[in-house]
Amino acid sequence: MAEESATAIIESVPNFSEGRRPHIIEAIVSEARRVRGVGVLDVLSDPDHNRTVVTLIGPPALVAEAVMAMTGAAARLIDMENHHGAHPRIGAMDVIPFVPGLNTTMEQCVELARSVGREIASTLGIPVYLYGEAASSPERRNLAYIRRGEYEALKEEIGRPDRLPDFGPPVLHPSAGATVVGARAPLVAMNVNLGTTDLFVARVIARKIRESSGGLPAVMAKAVALVERGMVQVTMNLTDYRVTSPLTVLKTITQEAEAHGVSVVESEIVGLVPMDVLVDLARQSLAAKGFSAAQVLETHLKERPRE
């Protein structure tokens, strides 16, 4: 890898396939907490999705160390043969994106993704796919393309030429399945929950708003049933919030839901978001033209020199 700046900081948002057993979740996350110099900023688990999303920051080499340790723990503690949840997945440590932060570039994140992917395959025997900016082909830039059919389909199809992993054996790990590693820009992971148990309504709305179906640009969407909560959900990734904002998405879903006689119960933000997202939300919802991060008090408190 290229030499890193002394102040280089990246973000990683590993997603692993466990959201119901707190002791397993803590055992996996604690592997990252043991790496000095890495911050565990957020841990969000969802029992319906049966998935946990963790946000890490730190120097690239240390974040890579933390991610490797978490992946090893996930492989030991999660058996994909017994895993069921609403969220698409192909492995125990399902996806590991690297995101540029302080004094880092997308190119560095791509290099890191490929290095970590190679190491996961060689040390843990887990087949690895590269996605996003690190993808080996245009089709594999799309995470949904790699995860089509999920774990169950990949188990049968991994040996096909179009489904061969980028690193590792052409067979799933016996317990951990496969892992996707990549590099991407910051995104907004957002869910909107609907006051109905009718999954058909959520599917119609997801199809209406996602870019691949001719809907909103830079929006990926899928419908899932939240059985424990007695509702359905449109779960989304906003891959470029500057193109389509969370507020635009919420308004569109609300309109579509009302057309089906259904209400929006709530929305959820999964993990962390850039401050620009919140500033833009304030600007739109309050019609506050010109509002900026410079008007956020905490921005100045953080920048104030210590005496």
CATH code where residue 163 lies: 3.30.990.10
Residue 303: the pLDDT is 61
Residue 1: the pLDDT is 45
Q: Which helix (H) or strand (E) holds 123?
A: helix 106-124
Alpha carbon separation from 99 to 32, 167, 264 (Å, rounded): 17, 21, 31
45 in the same domain as 164: yes
Domain boundary among 158, 183, 208: 183
The letter for the amino acid at 16 is: F
In a domain, 3, yes or no: no
Q: Do 40 and 6 form a contact (C-beta atoms < 8 A)?
A: no
115 in the same domain as 230: no
198 in the same domain as 113: no
DSSP 8-state symbol, 294: G
Q: From start to end of 8-138, where are the E strands?
A: 10-12, 15-16, 39-46, 51-58, 93-100, 128-132
36 burial level (CB within 10 Å; 0-12, 13-18, 19+) = exposed
DSSP 8-state symbol, 8: -
Residue 5: the pLDDT is 46
Helix (H, G, I), strand (E, B) or coil at 267: strand
Residue 208: the pLDDT is 96
Block residue for tokens 């049933």: 225
Residue 59: the pLDDT is 97
Phi-psi region of 271 (alpha: psi -120 to 50; beta: other; left: phi over 0): left
Q: How far apart are CA 127 and CA 118, in angstroms?
A: 9
In a domain, 1, yes or no: no
Q: From start to end of the chain, where are the E strands?
A: 10-12, 15-16, 39-46, 51-58, 93-100, 128-132, 179-183, 188-194, 219-226, 231-238, 264-270
Q: Do 28 and 14 form a contact (C-beta atoms < 8 A)?
A: no
Residues marked active site are found at 87
Domain boundary among 153, 183, 213: 183
Q: How far apart are CA 265 and CA 249, in angstroms?
A: 15
Query: What separation, in Å, do the N-terminal and C-terminal C-alpha atoms of the chain show?
Result: 39
121 in the same domain as 60: yes
Q: Do 275 and 296 form a contact (C-beta atoms < 8 A)?
A: yes
169 in the same domain as 197: no
Q: Which parts of the chain have pLDDT scores under 70?
A: 1-6, 302-307
10 burial level (CB within 10 Å; 0-12, 13-18, 19+) = buried
Residue 142: domain span: 10-183
Residue 271: the pLDDT is 87
